Structure 1
């Protein structure tokens, strides 16, 4: 490995990574604030927020994954100095996101009468959950449009707004929660359901703030986003969806895998489920580090491809993985050393702390595989090869990871059933399979570029207008 080149590329990647990482952590902190403030009302309100979020987050994260395609599109167009096309593709993505945001509102009012009889929850819990969802869906269009502007800015390698707008969101979230949860300033006391109104307000505040930022920033004006209006172009929309849907589904596969395991573990008892959730929540926070590197890698690789600097794209892919692995060593060591103290933050029950701490030991193993697979996927998005990510993540997560977890966790076919340990071993094997396959696919794409210097890899995702 060329150390000077590694330090040069790492410095460039980290410059993009740290604002994205801060933004991701702040978004997680907003969820933490919701839980804490709702929990001060009652355990029922806390449970309502947790359950409602488990319904809401997979939906909004799937849309987030779809809109992530814009960052790859913009970075390639910017690398090719095709800024007029950047504005058009941003508008077409905005039409998609607006339609999806409105669809979530419609989905709530269509699905609620059908799902409500299936809840059969005790006390006021069902009302709190449905009220939370009724409020938050009205923020969906704003959040979807914010994501468009965020990916537009990140595609232009300008990530500072992402961090600043997230801070604004947090500053709006806390007082809005205070007003609507506890009934201050003349507002009704809505308990946990008030988090739904607060979050909807945050979504619109983030969109409006980002819109103003894009309008006033000299850096973001280079694509002339506001000088011409573009109506929907269904050819462009189809191509964007072709890139974005595989990203969205692969993200959904990962989120749903961990959710389904939590459900499967219910018969093992509340302490086992709690330990699983504690370990999962902490490792989710750690995952923000390689995920942020992956998002930065998408931008760097996409820009290099647009500029037809294929060697630079290859270098960024390689050095980003190395950088991610070095940081994974740091987080793994910290996890091993402080695992019991970390678990103690979440729970005071000794059995929960002990089991969560032991699961965190297994998590330190898959941090390395997780880093390789997520950064490789980020590089592949930069090459706009997204369908391979979909196929590989489905096979790795659901067929291999969950399959191994089921065999080891709840059967005696290979060894006596291992409970949660079996599923976490399944996570390790599934993520390792994803890491190997995605790294292999990345190498295949790079070899194709080396063989033909004038074309992008001939994948179905590379529609003609994006072949730069």
Structure 2
């Protein structure tokens, strides 16, 4: 990571980090895509089972990832402070936490997975596929969580391209394993949709192995003794990660689960409405990878500058990231609105579904802009390690504004399913405004020291 002095240099630095992160995000999205599509080619019941399994796993994974990705802003600040030993200690204790969390999730799954699936009253084959898929996936929890910690460390050093290469190398492996386990090829058992879980787990072990090897042997990562003194354990180090990570993880979990609740509420509408909503949401979720990638880069850059006591640079990065996210969200949103019928046609051949999806996508434009503001403002606050109040703000926005306002607009203002889109947009905009005000406060009141630059 290089010191920057102008807005042009800062913009370039953001994109240097951003583009590999975005490609990595797309790669991780592709794994879920492979699981779903290839299971659907095997059998529709297996497709449904994998979809149900993914819907159960997604909020849990996103929440836990939020906890472990706290390694990134903490390590970035230590890196900015030139405290190499402390960077290594943070990563090492992140690995400890990943082991503890993986064991906890597996134990909880052992006791609660069957009761959850039973309450969903699914067809027997769908329930069995969902259960077997999640069991298969559980074998990859430990390497996945360790990979997230090592990925956070690599991001903290600004070397985002490394993770991108690892992810791109793993995609053909994942595709091959999916094909082999789902359809029973090359002497492997024919497992149907459940095979996607085992294939993904093996892929996670390969990804973790490659990342571990690079961190241990390649510069600049090998100069940090991450894997040395693994017997040294400090609860205080774990506590620091949890203090930052738990609010981050809960915020992500509540945001993800909010969309799941909206999906459940919409299940009372017609099949056409549900299909149109899911299609529009899928498009928006895909485009959301851009602001979330900007957010990841922003957390690292702000954290590094705060650690180096370059508070002016941290402030400039914060608002530059917010502005870039708004501009990109507006640009992509306008394109989606202009070509909304063509985009909707990718998801369905039914005229009614296409027309309603296209209508939803008009609301999605404003939703996307609001989401971009709140995501990047929150990311900048994470760079300052200010997460507790931000978590409360987002919790209020998601559950006390988005859902109630959406419900009222849908059922008492005659807007139907469109009311939920408006509710989501209003809530996310409220979160964006509140988080931006908090960011201004943090920058003015807590980080107003005069930046002293070296004179060469």
TM range (shorter): over 0.9
How much does 1:168 deviate? 2.5
| 3-state SS of 2:185 partner | coil
The answer to which of 112-121 and 76-85 deviates more is 112-121
Question: Is 2:436 the counterpart of 1:439?
Answer: yes
Cα distance in 2 for partners of 1:10, 1:385 equals: 24
How much does 1:358 deviate? 0.9
| 3-state SS of 2:47 partner | helix
How much does 1:219 deviate? 1.6
Cα distance in 2 for partners of 1:140, 1:229 equals: 20
Matches within 5 A, 1:64-463: 64-410=65-411, 412=412, 415-416=413-414, 418-452=415-449
The answer to which of 118-127 and 16-25 deviates more is 118-127
Compared CA separation, residues 400 and 120, structure 1 to 2 (3 A): closer
Cα distance in 1 for partners of 2:328, 2:280 equals: 19
Cα distance in 2 for partners of 1:351, 1:193 equals: 34
Aligned to 2:454: none
Structure 2 contact 22–290 (Cα < 8 Å) conserved: yes
Structure 2 contact 137–200 (Cα < 8 Å) conserved: yes
Give CA deviations for 1:63-114 in whole Å, capped at 9, x if unaligned.
Answer: 1000111000010000000010011111111111111112222122111343
Structure 1 contact 88–230 (Cα < 8 Å) conserved: no
- Compute the TM-score of the two structures, normalised by the length of structure 1: 0.93
Cα distance in 1 for partners of 2:434, 2:385 equals: 17
Give CA deviations for 1:197-224 in whole Å, capped at 9, x if unaligned.
Answer: 0111111111111101112221212322
Structure 2 contact 254–395 (Cα < 8 Å) conserved: yes
How much does 1:5 deviate? 3.4
Give CA deviations for 1:125-157 in whole Å, capped at 9, x if unaligned.
Answer: 111111111111111011000001000110111
How much does 1:186 deviate? 1.4
Cα distance in 2 for partners of 1:113, 1:346 equals: 32
Aligned to 2:36: 35
Cα distance in 2 for partners of 1:86, 1:284 equals: 33
| 3-state SS of 1:190 partner | coil
Cα distance in 1 for partners of 2:351, 2:19 equals: 36
- Compute the TM-score of the two structures, normalised by the length of structure 2: 0.95
Aligned to 1:461: none
Structure 2 contact 311–449 (Cα < 8 Å) conserved: no
Cα distance in 2 for partners of 1:226, 1:119 equals: 44
Structure 1 contact 265–419 (Cα < 8 Å) conserved: no
The answer to which of 223-232 and 311-320 deviates more is 223-232
Cα distance in 2 for partners of 1:228, 1:22 equals: 34
The answer to which of 185-194 and 219-228 deviates more is 219-228
Aligned to 1:46: 47
Give CA deviations for 1:238-288 in whole Å, capped at 9, x if unaligned.
Answer: 121111000000001110111100100111122111111111111011111
Question: Is 2:20 the counterpart of 1:23?
Answer: no
How much does 1:420 deviate? 1.1
Structure 1 contact 297–316 (Cα < 8 Å) conserved: yes
Cα distance in 1 for partners of 2:21, 2:222 equals: 21
| 3-state SS of 1:268 partner | coil
Structure 1 residues without counterparts, runs of 5 or longer: 455-468
The answer to which of 208-217 and 143-152 deviates more is 208-217
How much does 1:124 deviate? 1.1
Cα distance in 2 for partners of 1:319, 1:375 equals: 10
Give CA deviations for 1:14-33 in whole Å, capped at 9, x if unaligned.
Answer: 00000000000111111111
Structure 2 contact 311–448 (Cα < 8 Å) conserved: no
Cα distance in 1 for partners of 2:113, 2:384 equals: 40
| 3-state SS of 1:267 partner | coil
How much does 1:41 deviate? 1.1
Q: When the two structures are aligned, how many residues end up with a matched partner?
A: 447
Structure 2 residues without counterparts, runs of 5 or longer: 452-456
| 3-state SS of 2:440 partner | helix
Give CA deviations for 1:395-434 in whole Å, capped at 9, x if unaligned.
Answer: 1111011110010112x2xx22x22100000011011101
* RMSD of aligned residue pairs (Cα, Å): 1.5
